[in-house]
Structure 1
Amino acid sequence: MARPALSAVAELLKPITWFPPMWAFSCGVVASGQPITANWFLVFLGVLLAGPLVCATSQAVNDWFDRHVDAINEPNRPIPSGRIPGRWGLYIAIGWTALSLLVATQLGPWGFGAAVLGLILAWAYSAPPVRLKQNGWWGNAACGISYEGLAWVTGAAVMAGGAMPASHSLALALLYSLGAHGIMTLNDFKAIEGDKKMGVGSLPVRLGVDGAARTACLVMAVPQIIVIGMLVQWGAVWHATAIGALLVAQGVLMVWFMKDPVKRALFYSGFGVPLFVSGMMVSAFALRATGGVA
């Protein structure tokens, strides 16, 4: 069997998708209040695990089990196009899973446990018989928890020597996980045709294009409003103001996006999502500035 080119493997692992969990892990690191330079190797390993390993594994797993859907929606992807031949897609997914677990052993019980949970969610999202992505509500929730909340909590816990993060840090991680559910919905607008044919119940399929767009925007906005209120209560007024400004900018883009969700989802992902994740880091610095609050 011909081996795939390295360029095709890199495309399968989708480096562009690694940023959210790497960023969320970094937010947890900042929120922990621990000195970063003194723990630079832990930070490096955690970022490596969150993005190029666990997230990359999830991409390979998803592309393997979605190869029939991708043949309709995106036939030029590595597996349906034949650039990843035979069962190489599955072998890469399994190999990257093992490599992720190996690296995770260097991050202590919290890091290893988080990696195991993240990998379980990655396989459960795409692989039958569970295949969470068959239901857009459950599938997007699994992605949001894995990409944002789990990565944040892991970063905070690893920096604290395995101690449970403060309750306020956990609350922020949960809220941004909920918001990420809406971000995941944005990715589904490009795959409506194939999802319908293959019985994948994404939110655009279940709720219709307009209903899914409104839901995605609402799910992204409400957690941020709650975060703003929490930061004000904690005395981090300037941080709350900054997140409010970011949310206003998102609101302008949301109004524009909802006028033509299918055509504008990609643009919104490129410009609106960075505003959302910028607020995550602002909230992490708010916790650091207030000593973690609790």
Structure 2
Amino acid sequence: MSDSTSSQEQSENRSGKTRQMLGMKGASTGETSVWKIRLQLMKPITWIPLIWGVVCGAASSGDFHWQVEDVVKVVTCMLLSGPLMAGYTQTLNDFYDREIDAINEPYRPIPSGAITVPQVITQILILLGGGLALAYGLDQWGGNAYPKITIITLLGTFLAYIYSAPPLKLKQNGWFGNYALGASYIALPWWAGHSLFGDLNWIIIVLTLIYSFAGLGIAVVNDFKSVEGDRTLGLKSLPVMFGVGGAAWISVLMIDIFQLGIAGYLISIQENLYATILVLLVIPQITFQDMYFLRSPLENDVKYQASAQPFLVLGMLVTGLALGHSGI
């Protein structure tokens, strides 16, 4: 019995350390390596949708080709959108959220005392400087007549700041904050990837901003883990404003309706096959919403995300390929 208990404790400890490193809920404390702590601040788990957004943008340009230079361009833009800019955003958010994290997630690096505030500020500046420098380099590499990717990066920098920092602190409002988050995870990296290979036109901009309303629904899912602290500090997240059940319905409706709306647009431009695939990818999302999320949002938020979000991100790529194929 003791050996079994010890083995279980070791397994839970490893799981906690992994979750800590990725920046997930339910992490353990006790990490001492400053580099691992810095990585935890950057929340690598959040890089994935931005990296994927770059791929979708490259696909929607219609000018990406499977050759070494184009692949390296995309990978470099992934580095910009994921580790650098998402890392900057998450570190900045942790800096301004250190009080609420002391309630919701006391194992986070700043409230746990694992890293000092001056060290956090240094990390923010290094990630921001590296991101802007890489964005300018990508503009030069892509031969852009004006620095589109640098402008997009500056927009993302500003959006990240007003999302986390007073006096605006958009995250205090569930609607504005979650939409800003959704746009940051869908529209901005999509624009960057598209700008590497094609002209970023208003149709792409508007469509991705519409798609970002589905991202708002995804962002709401992340609010359930902090509802107690949000309520204590007076933050108007959707679970606080509408209750857990009401916010869960808002989340799934935003996710489903706006994906189906994009499918309708694809039909309108004669991309029927891609529209059909997108609709088919929405169906399993609805299934997992019913199985997990709507029945118990607080307990099943992580399980739901792991089950349903792969279908959402595949739908994004289908949309990118459709737009690239249509020549828009």
2:133 aligned with 1:133? no
- Identity over aligned residues, as a percent? 37
Equivalent residue, structure 2, for 1:84: 115
TM-score (normalised: structure 1): 0.93
1:155 Cα offset (Å): 1.3
1:81 Cα offset (Å): 1.1
- Of the candidates 307, 310, 319, which is equivalent to residue 271 of structure 1? 307
Equivalent residue, structure 2, for 1:14: 43
1:44 Cα offset (Å): 2.4
Work out which structure has the larger RCO, using CA pairs closer than 8 Å and 6 or more positions apart in sequence. Answer: 1
TM-score (normalised: structure 2): 0.84
1:156 Cα offset (Å): 1.0
1:20 Cα offset (Å): 0.8
Amino acid at match of 1:104: A
> Residues 248-286 of structure 1: CA distance to partner in whole angstroms, max 9, x if unpaired?
111111122111111111111111122111100011111
The number of residues matched between the two structures is 287
- Of the candidates 230, 236, 240, which is equivalent to residue 275 of structure 2? 240
> What pairs with 1:1-294 in structure 2 (closer than 5 Å)?
5-36=34-65, 37=67, 38-108=69-139, 109-160=147-198, 163-165=199-201, 167=203, 169-256=204-291, 257-290=293-326, 292=327, 294=328
> Residues 107-131 of structure 1: CA distance to partner in whole angstroms, max 9, x if unpaired?
2201100100001111111111121
1:4 Cα offset (Å): 6.3
What is the rounded CA distance, in whole Å, between the counterparts of 1:85 and 1:264 in structure 2?
34
Unaligned runs of 5+ in 1: none
Question: Root-mean-square deviation (CA), in Å?
Answer: 1.6
* Bigger Cα displacement from structure 2, 151-160 vs 105-114: 151-160
Is the Cα–Cα contact under 8 Å of residues 32 and 165 in structure 1 kept in the other structure? Answer: no
What is the rounded CA distance, in whole Å, between the counterparts of 2:191 and 2:135 in structure 1?
15
What is the rounded CA distance, in whole Å, between the counterparts of 1:228 and 1:190 in structure 2?
31
* Bigger Cα displacement from structure 2, 50-59 vs 95-104: 95-104
What is the rounded CA distance, in whole Å, between the counterparts of 2:200 and 2:135 in structure 1?
18
What is the rounded CA distance, in whole Å, between the counterparts of 1:246 and 1:164 in structure 2?
27
1:104 Cα offset (Å): 1.4
Amino acid at match of 1:113: I
Amino acid at match of 2:294: M
